[in-house]
């Protein structure tokens, strides 16, 4: 209950944040730009619209999420407003989880809003609705979910917004290089290969959630077991990050 109250407050706080609206507005502008780019692809306009739109929704939500995660707790700590919450019967874990879930709700809302705009553009252009579309957005949300927990951990560890943001972005990029790192592992040998392999395992595996890249591939087959495993991966990975965040947060002297 306490977690939910903090999450709700956190969400309302995000709704008051101008940056949040800026991102959604920017999303609208970029979707408009993708319309123009789509025209250049002539008979493949729908494909381009679909690809660009889905990627932009994901990337913009990611930027918003990283920015908000890394700034919100640190800002409250700097301004000492965190005392207003922690002096009440609220544990640090509850505070952390409330903030995290509040952020996730606002990210999901932004994603749904941009998805609706994108979907209406696609339908207006003659695209036939595919049930995979909401699933692709859900997978993107899982990606952002995972990266939010990671950036929260980094923000608490680094105590610097900029450092946390930069490292999170690097991890995001590396997470998409899973197959390329595997390729490098094959080309390397000895300790270098072992080190690369270990790092690639610890990195968040973003390709697992990259459904928007593969769902239209002729050989792609949807499997509920893979879906369940992907959700479980996101849950477990973010739980591990939240666990570490909580340990860090507990050890901090506010």
Partner 1 sequence: MTAWIGNFAAAALFLGLLGMGSERLVFWPFPSLDKIEVPASEAALSLVSLSLGTRRIGADLLFIRMLQYYGTPEFLEEKEEGGRAGEHEHHDADFGGGVYAELYPRAQRILSMDPSFRYAVLYAATALAFNLGRPEEATALLRSALDKDPRYWRYHYHLAAIAYQESREFGKLAGILAKIVDEERETPSMLKNMLAALYVKLGRLEEARRVYEMIRDSSQDPDYVRLAEKKLLLLEQAVPSQPR
Binding site for partner 1 (CB under 8 A): 37, 40-48, 51-52, 55, 59, 173, 176-180, 182-183, 198, 200-203, 205-208, 210, 212-214, 216-221, 226, 229-230, 233, 236-237, 240-241, 243-244, 247-248, 251
> Which CB sits closer to partner 1, 88 or 217?
217
Residues 6+ apart with CB under 8 A from 73: 82, 96, 99, 152, 155, 156
> Which CB sits closer to partner 1, 84 or 240?
240
Around Cβ 75, how many Cβ atoms within 10 Å?
Answer: 12
Residues 6+ apart with CB under 8 A from 194: none
For residue 17, give the 3-state DSSP assignment. Answer: coil
Distance CA 130, CA 50 (A): 11
- Residue 197 Cβ vs partner 1, minimum distance, rounded to whole Å: 9
- Residue 150 Cβ vs partner 1, minimum distance, rounded to whole Å: 10
Which residue in the block uniquely carries the two structure tokens 């889905």? Answer: 54
The end-to-end CA distance of the chain, in Å, is 24
> Which CB sits closer to partner 1, 25 or 173?
173
> Which CB sits closer to partner 1, 50 or 110?
50
> Which CB sits closer to partner 1, 68 or 208?
208
- Residue 241 Cβ vs partner 1, minimum distance, rounded to whole Å: 8
- Residue 1 Cβ vs partner 1, minimum distance, rounded to whole Å: 28
- Residue 193 Cβ vs partner 1, minimum distance, rounded to whole Å: 15
- Residue 78 Cβ vs partner 1, minimum distance, rounded to whole Å: 23
Backbone angles phi, psi at 202, to 5 degrees: -75, -30
Around Cβ 202, how many Cβ atoms within 10 Å?
Answer: 9
> Which CB sits closer to partner 1, 102 or 175?
175
> CA distances (Å), 97 to each of 5, 152, 230, in order?
11, 11, 21
């Amino acid at each position: 209950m306490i977690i939910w109250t903090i999450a709700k407050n956190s969400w309302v706080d995000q709704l008051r944040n101008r940056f949040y609206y800026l991102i959604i507005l920017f999303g609208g502008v970029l979707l408009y730009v993708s319309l123009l780019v789509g025209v250049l692809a002539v008979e493949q306009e729908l494909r381009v619209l679909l690809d660009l739109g889905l990627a932009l929704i994901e990337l913009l939500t990611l930027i918003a999420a990283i920015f908000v995660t890394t700034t919100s707790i640190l800002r409250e700590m700097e301004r000492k407003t965190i005392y207003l919450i922690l002096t009440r019967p609220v544990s640090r874990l509850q505070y952390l989880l409330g903030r995290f879930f509040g952020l996730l709700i606002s990210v999901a809302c932004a994603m749904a809003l941009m998805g609706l705009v994108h979907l209406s553009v696609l339908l207006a252009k003659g695209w036939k609705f595919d049930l995979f579309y909401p699933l692709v957005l859900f997978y993107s949300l899982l990606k952002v979910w995972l990266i939010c927990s990671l950036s929260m951990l980094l923000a608490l560890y680094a105590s610097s917004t900029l450092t946390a943001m930069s490292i999170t972005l690097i991890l995001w990029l590396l997470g998409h290089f899973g197959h390329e790192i595997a390729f490098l592992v094959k080309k390397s040998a000895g300790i270098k290969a072992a080190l690369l392999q270990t790092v690639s395992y610890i990195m968040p595996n973003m390709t697992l959630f990259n459904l928007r890249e593969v769902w239209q591939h002729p050989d792609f087959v949807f499997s509920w077991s893979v879906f369940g495993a992907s959700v479980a991966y996101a849950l477990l990975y973010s739980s591990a990050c939240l666990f570490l965040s909580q340990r860090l947060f507990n050890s901090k002297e506010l």
